[in-house]
Every structure is written in structure tokens, then in C-alpha cells.
């Protein structure tokens, strides 16, 4: 059993090593491996920006003290963390607790790196079902979400007012497109977003894709074609700039920050920048085609327990996970990381403390994990053909239908 797991881990490590050629520096307390003995428990996370004086690292230390152990923490860049987690598993020296980006959970789980929440008796009953789904494969959850972020539409109040647009009327694709037409007629710019040919582009397109009713298992469905057609029409009518083809979420935000655009699709992580933009703004959820909130993809991490040679360590590791994700600490953690909490009780507390978060809570409640629907490690093999199709349609090299037909053929061949 262990030999089989190591072969699977090796294959997963090779795949990720081929896909990722860059490595970021870890924080100064880099231990170099996950090995720990006795009363010392290791935790790896994807937050190298936080040093020992940060609220996050202090919480880790506090949880160690509460449980009665010493915590040895290392922060890595997300891609570097995945590679090191796979390599450590292959070498048999995984960390005791691993905080990992939610789309990576399926990769590590299928490689045999992670234990399940059921194995460690971790209570996930209060976690929102759509959020735990991002780390669930074959009906088994492989960690506890620490928090989530997602996408919504920021809007410039002055631009909409000058164009005679009442934001309350923007409830579906038709009313949003009509609003963009009024904005253009008033001499301003419509909407900006990121459609770059990377996972970032897929991340931004998914609310429109899912909002059409489309499923990732069939990229060439009529619903999917309608979503690509929406974006393509916006470019052709001048409602969105051609720059979206190369925009990252950062450069898209920079366009919105000029004050010329009515709308920008972006995430919770831009809230601080929005407050400094110099103009009045508002936020609405991304609308579905027929109305209501579209499912946007979830960002955020899971706290997981890797497989250990010494099964006796799991009990304490479980207590550390519980400490990091309990109601009191969850509120502190999501505030530090600018996330929305994974439980209704803490979400309500967040909104009570900051009414601006209400729209983000609504968006997170409707959100969806990219690897949900039991896609697991198939998701990246579908995402790349999807963003390639979107790029082809927006550039005009193919019609939306032809671009998605080619995307479906590529995805089908990659996921056989």
C-alpha cells in the first residue's frame, strides 16, 4: 500500500514539476523539510508574506500552546508549496499540518498525500456545503476550508449616474448589457475584466460560464456558447476593451481605478484598493443569465493533515486543525487573510462588523469550487482548453461555437 502511494506521489510530482518552472523564496523560518519529532509539530502554509510578528503566525503559535506542543511553521509560495508537499510525501517526511490552495487538494488527495476529515474525526458539519465541496473527492473531504474569496462586480457610481443607469435594474445579462450600452453612449467605458490565457482567465470567465447553466464536462454546449458570445459581443460593441485579452486581474483593476469604467470584475482582495480609488464605488454579485447570483469560483485554502508514518501524531494534528478553524479563531483568521468565513455564524459576525462584506458573503454562498462536481485533477485539463477557446473567440480567430468545439475535443482527449 505504501509503495503504491509513493509511486502515485512520484507521478504527481513529475506532472507538477513539468508544469511549474519557477520557485519562490520561502520565509526566513524555512525548515527545509517537514520532519518533526516529539513535542514539535510542523505546519506549512502558502503565506510567505507573513513573518513571526504577524497575527497569522501568532495564531499558529497560540494553537500550539493551547494543544501543548511547539509549532514549527514554514511559509511557501503556492506552487512551491505543492511541489514540496509532494516531494516530502515521497520521502516520508510530510509536515503534520498543511494549509493548501483549494484546487490543489484534489491533486494531493489523489496522490495519496492527505488523510480525510473522517479518518481524523474533524467536524465539518457547520461548513457551507459548496465550500467543503472544493476539497471533496469521491464523497470524502480532505481538509477543512479556512476561508474563501470569490468574484463580484465593482461599479463606479458617478459613471452610472451620468449614464442614467440605476444599479438596482442590473439583475441579469440583458440588463447589464443594456447598462453598458448607456454608459458607452454617455462617452464612458463599460466593463473591464481579465481574459488572459492562463488559469486567471478561466477563473474570471467561470461566473459567466456557470451563470449560463453550462457544465465543465461539456464545453461546447449551447449554454457555454452563449457565455462566450456574451463576452465576444461586448468587445465587438466596444463595451469592453480589447486589452481584456491580455489583462491580469491586477491590470484589469488598474483600468477600473482610472475612474473611466462603469464596471470591473474582481475579488475581495481589491477592497482596500477600492477604498483608495478616489471615487464612490459599489459592489453587486455577478448576475446569472436569467437573473440571480451566478456561481463564481472559490479561492481560499484548506487545512489538511498529510499521511504520516507515525499514526500516533494524528490526534494532536487534528487538535491543531480544530484550533485554527474554530469559530473564534476563524473570525480572526479570515480578517487577517481578507477572506469570507466558511460558516454561517462567522459570516454573520463579519457582516455585523463590516456591512460592506454583505455582498461578498452572498457571492461566497453562491460560489463553487473549480474541482467540484468530482472533477478533481481533471479540472486543469479542462480549464486550459476553456481559456484557449475564450481567447480564440475574443481575438476573432474563431466563432464562439467553433472555439468551444475545439476546446471540448481537446478536453475530452486530455481527460480520457
Answer yes or no: do 276 and 338 share one domain: no
310 Cβ contact partners less than 8 Å away, ≥ 6 residues apart: none
Answer yes or no: do 124 and 54 share one domain: yes
Answer yes or no: do 9 and 99 share one domain: yes
Indicate whether 5 pLDDT > 80. no
Q: How far is CA 80 from CA 32, 75, 101, 197, 400, in A?
A: 12, 10, 12, 22, 36
Question: Is residue 129 classed as helix, strand or coil in its secondary structure?
Answer: helix
Domain CATH for 258? 3.40.190.10
Residue where a domain stops, chosen among 345, 366, 387: 366
Q: How high does pLDDT run on average in the chain?
A: 91
Domain count, the chain: 2
pLDDT at 260: 97
Question: Is residue 305 classed as helix, strand or coil in its secondary structure?
Answer: coil
Q: How far is CA 180 from CA 165, 166, 183, 262, in A?
A: 9, 12, 5, 8
Q: Are strands 40-45 and 70-75 parallel, antiparallel or unpaired?
A: parallel
In terms of residue numbers, what domain contains 291? 151-296+375-414
Answer yes or no: do 175 and 32 share one domain: no
Strand partners, 286: none
Answer yes or no: do 37 and 80 share one domain: yes
| pLDDT tens digits along 256-293 | 999 999 999 999 989 989 999 999 999 999 999 999 99
Residue in 196, 200, 195 with CA at minimum distance from that of residue 227: 195
Residue where a domain stops, chosen among 366, 385, 404: 366
pLDDT at 36: 55
Answer yes or no: do 280 and 234 share one domain: yes
Question: Residue 108 in contact with residue 114, Cβ under 8 Å?
Answer: yes
| pLDDT tens digits along 197-228 | 999 999 999 999 999 999 999 999 999 999 99
Answer yes or no: do 104 and 144 share one domain: yes
Answer yes or no: do 60 and 166 share one domain: no
Answer yes or no: do 253 and 400 share one domain: yes
Answer yes or no: do 255 and 390 share one domain: yes
Answer yes or no: do 245 and 343 share one domain: no
Question: Residue 209 in contact with residue 390, Cβ under 8 Å?
Answer: no
Answer yes or no: do 246 and 393 share one domain: yes
Confidence band for 152, pLDDT divided at 50, 70 and 90: very high
Residue where a domain stops, chosen among 366, 390, 406: 366
Amino acid at each position: 500500500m505504501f509503495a503504491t502511494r509513493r509511486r502515485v506521489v512520484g507521478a504527481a510530482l513529475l506532472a507538477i514539476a513539468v508544469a511549474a518552472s519557477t520557485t519562490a523564496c520561502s520565509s526566513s523560518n524555512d525548515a527545509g523539510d517537514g520532519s518533526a519529532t516529539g513535542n514539535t509539530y510542523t505546519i506549512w502554509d502558502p503565506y510567505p508574506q507573513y513573518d513571526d510578528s504577524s497575527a497569522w503566525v501568532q495564531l499558529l503559535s497560540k494553537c500550539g500552546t493551547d494543544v501543548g506542543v511547539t509549532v514549527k511553521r514554514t511559509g511557501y509560495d503556492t506552487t512551491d508549496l505543492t511541489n514540496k508537499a509532494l516531494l516530502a510525501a515521497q520521502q516520508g517526511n510530510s509536515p503534520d499540518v498543511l494549509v493548501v490552495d483549494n484546487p490543489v487538494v484534489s491533486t494531493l488527495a489523489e496522490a495519496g498525500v492527505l488523510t480525510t476529515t473522517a479518518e481524523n474525526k474533524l467536524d465539518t458539519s457547520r461548513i457551507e456545503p459548496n465550500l467543503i465541496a472544493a476539497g471533496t473527492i469521491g464523497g470524502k473531504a480532505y481538509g477543512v476550508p479556512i476561508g474563501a474569496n470569490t468574484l463580484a462586480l465593482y461599479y463606479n457610481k458617478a459613471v452610472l449616474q451620468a449614464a442614467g443607469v440605476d444599479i438596482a435594474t442590473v439583475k441579469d445579462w440583458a440588463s447589464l448589457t443594456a447598462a453598458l450600452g448607456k454608459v458607452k453612449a454617455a462617452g464612458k467605458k463599460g466593463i473591464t475584466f481579465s481574459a488572459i490565457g492562463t488559469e486567471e482567465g478561466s477563473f474570471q470567465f467561470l461566473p459567466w460560464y456557470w451563470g449560463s447553466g453550462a457544465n465543465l464536462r461539456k464545453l461546447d454546449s449551447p449554454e457555454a456558447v452563449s457565455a462566450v458570445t456574451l463576452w465576444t459581443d461586448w468587445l465587438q460593441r466596444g463595451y469592453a476593451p480589447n486589452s481584456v485579452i491580455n489583462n491580469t486581474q491586477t491590470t484589469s483593476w488598474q483600468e477600473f481605478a482610472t475612474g473611466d469604467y462603469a464596471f470591473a470584475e474582481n475579488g475581495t482582495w481589491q477592497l482596500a484598493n477600492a477604498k483608495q480609488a478616489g471615487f464612490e464605488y459599489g459592489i453587486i454579485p455577478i448576475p446569472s443569465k436569467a437573473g440571480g447570483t451566478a456561481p463564481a469560483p472559490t479561492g481560499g485554502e484548506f487545512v489538511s493533515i498529510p499521511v504520516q508514518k507515525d499514526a500516533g501524531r494524528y490526534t494532536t494534528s487534528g487538535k491543531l486543525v480544530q484550533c485554527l478553524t474554530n469559530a473564534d479563531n476563524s473570525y480572526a483568521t479570515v480578517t487577517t487573510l481578507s477572506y469570507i468565513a466558511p460558516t454561517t455564524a462567522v459570516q454573520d459576525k463579519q457582516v455585523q462588523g463590516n456591512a460592506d462584506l454583505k455582498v461578498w458573503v452572498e457571492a461566497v454562498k453562491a460560489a463553487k469550487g473549480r474541482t467540484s462536481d468530482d472533477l478533481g485533477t481533471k479540472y486543469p485539463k479542462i480549464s486550459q482548453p476553456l481559456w484557449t477557446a475564450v481567447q480564440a473567440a475574443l481575438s476573432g480567430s474563431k466563432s464562439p461555437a467553433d472555439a468551444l468545439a475545439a476546446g471540448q475535443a481537446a478536453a475530452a482527449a486530455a481527460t480520457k
